[in-house]
Structure 1
C-alpha cells in the first residue's frame, strides 16, 4: 500500500497484529525484503526507503538522514506502543539514528551496520568514493553497477542467492540509487559514536565472515558494554539471506523476548 509521509509517497507493507516492529532494508533493497524473514506474531511495518523500490524519489536534499528519520517518525505515530526497529546495513544506520532521537523506540536490532565514521577525514573520503559509484551507476547503467555490486568480497552468496536478489536490484531506478549515495551514504550521515549511550536496548547481528562489521560491532560494544552481538555462522554481510535458518532463529528470539 502507499502512504503519504510529509508529502512523499511511500510504499509500505503492513502485516499481522501484535507488538509493532519497523523493518528497514539495505541499499538496493525494498520493502519486500521481509518476505524472506520468518513469520512472527507481530505488527510488521516495512517501508521502501527514500530512493528505493516503489517509494517516490525526491531530491537529494529531501533524502538526507534527517529527512528520512523525520518520515519514519511519522510511521511511529501509527501505534501508541513502544517500537522495535530492525535495520539491515543502510537500514541499520537509519534505525540507530532513529533510535537515538525518538524515545518511542525501545529496542533496536542492527544487522551488518555501523553508527557512522569517526572522523571528518574518513567521511570526506567515503563521500568521494560514493560519488564515484554514483557516477558509475548513471553513466554505465544499473546492470553494470549490479554486476560489480554482487561480486564484492563482502558477500557469501550462492549463485541461486545472487539470482534471487538480482531482479530487485535491476528494478531500482539508476538516478535514485545514485542520489541515495549522494544523500544518505555513510559519509553523509552524522557520526553516532558519541551518542551510543542514548540508544535504547541495542542488539547487533553480524555474519561470521564479515570481518569489517564484526570489528565495528565489537568497537560499539567496547563503548557500551550492554550491547549484545550475535554472530551468524557461514555468513557474510547479508546473514539474513546467507544463513536464513540461523538468522531466523535469532531474530525471532530477539523480537519476541526469548534472549
Structure 2
C-alpha cells in the first residue's frame, strides 16, 4: 500500500492481518533492504499487528525527491505522520542496522509514541569528530561508487563485505531472495541514504540514551563482535537496556535465524 507524506510516496505493508484492538510493531529494514526482509520472520499468527515500511530511497518508496528529505529527522517526522494516518499513535518499534539507527532517532524525537524499542545490530552513531569525518568520507566514496557503477557491481561489492560473511551460510534460496532485494534498489536512493542519513552524518545519540523512555532490547549476533561491543557500551550509558546475544549468527540475525529472532521479539513486545 502507498500513501504520500510531505510529498514523498511511502510504501508500507501489513505483514499480519490488522486488528485495531491489538498492539502494533513497526519494522525498519537496513541499508539495501526493503519491508520484505521481515516477511520470513513474522509468518505465525500472533497477538500483534506487524507493519513494515520501505524507508525513503529504498524499495517501492520514492527516491527521486529533494536530497534533504533523506535526513533522519525528516524520515522520523514522516513515519510519525504515516502511523498517525493509519490510526496508530503508540507502538513498538523494531529496526535493523540502518533501520536501528533510524528507530533510535525516532524514539528520541517521539518518545511518547514508542512503547518498546528493539534495535538489531544498531548504533547510536559516532562520538568523536575525527571518527565522524572519516566515516562521512567513507560513505561519500561508497555513494560515488554506487552512482558511477551498475547496481549489480555494487551489490557484488556489498555482499562480500566481512560484515556479511556469516550470511553465506544461509540456504541458497534465502541468499537469492536477498540478492534480488538488493538488486531491486535504485542507485540514487542508496547514494542519498549514505550522503544524508549515513553513520557519518547522522546525529550523535549517545548522550540521548539515558533519556530513552521505551523499554529497550538490543539484539546482536554472537559472531558480530563490533556490534556486541557497541551494545555493551550502550547498556553502560543506559543500564535499563537489555541485551540478547544470539548464538552462531552475525550482523543480520533476522535473516540467519528468523524463528529464533521472531520468538525473541514477540516475547519481548508481549511480555
Match among 133, 139, 145 for residue 154 of structure 2: 145
Shift of 1:245: 2.5
Instruction: Show the counterpart of 1:101.
Output: 109
Query: Tell me, which stretches of 5 or more residues in structure 2 are unaligned?
Result: none
Instruction: Show the counterpart of 2:130.
Output: 121
Q: Distance in 1 between matches of 2:224 and 2:246?
A: 10
Q: Distance in 2 between matches of 1:81 and 1:52?
A: 24
Instruction: Show the counterpart of 2:180.
Output: 167
Match among 224, 245, 257 for residue 259 of structure 2: 245
Instruction: Show the counterpart of 1:223.
Output: 237
Identify which range, 39-48 or 63-72, moves more after superposition: 39-48
Instruction: Show the counterpart of 2:98.
Output: 90
- Note closer, same or farther for the CA distance 1:202–1:135 as it changes in structure 2 (3 Å cut): same
CA deviation vs aligned residue, 1:91-137 (integer Å, no higher than 9, x gap): 10010010111111121100001011112221111110011101111
TM-score by length of 1: 0.95
Instruction: Show the counterpart of 2:69.
Output: 62
CA deviation vs aligned residue, 1:210-246 (integer Å, no higher than 9, x gap): 0110000000001111100001111100011112222
Shift of 1:81: 4.9
Q: Distance in 1 between matches of 2:269 and 2:224?
A: 23
- 1:217 alignment partner, SS class: helix
- Note closer, same or farther for the CA distance 1:59–1:80 as it changes in structure 2 (3 Å cut): closer
C-alpha RMSD of the superposition? 1.3
2:92 is the counterpart of 1:79: no
- 2:182 alignment partner, SS class: helix
CA contact (8 A) 1:76 1:83 kept: no
CA contact (8 A) 1:29 1:169 kept: yes
2:31 is the counterpart of 1:31: no
- 1:98 alignment partner, SS class: helix
CA deviation vs aligned residue, 1:4-26 (integer Å, no higher than 9, x gap): 11221111102422101111000
Match among 18, 25, 36 for residue 21 of structure 1: 25
Shift of 1:54: 0.7
- 2:185 alignment partner, SS class: coil
CA contact (8 A) 1:25 1:31 kept: yes
Query: Tell me, which stretches of 5 or more residues in structure 1 are unaligned?
Result: none
| Number of residue pairs the alignment of both structures matches | 257
Q: Distance in 2 between matches of 1:30 and 1:96?
A: 18
Q: Distance in 1 between matches of 2:32 and 2:38?
A: 14
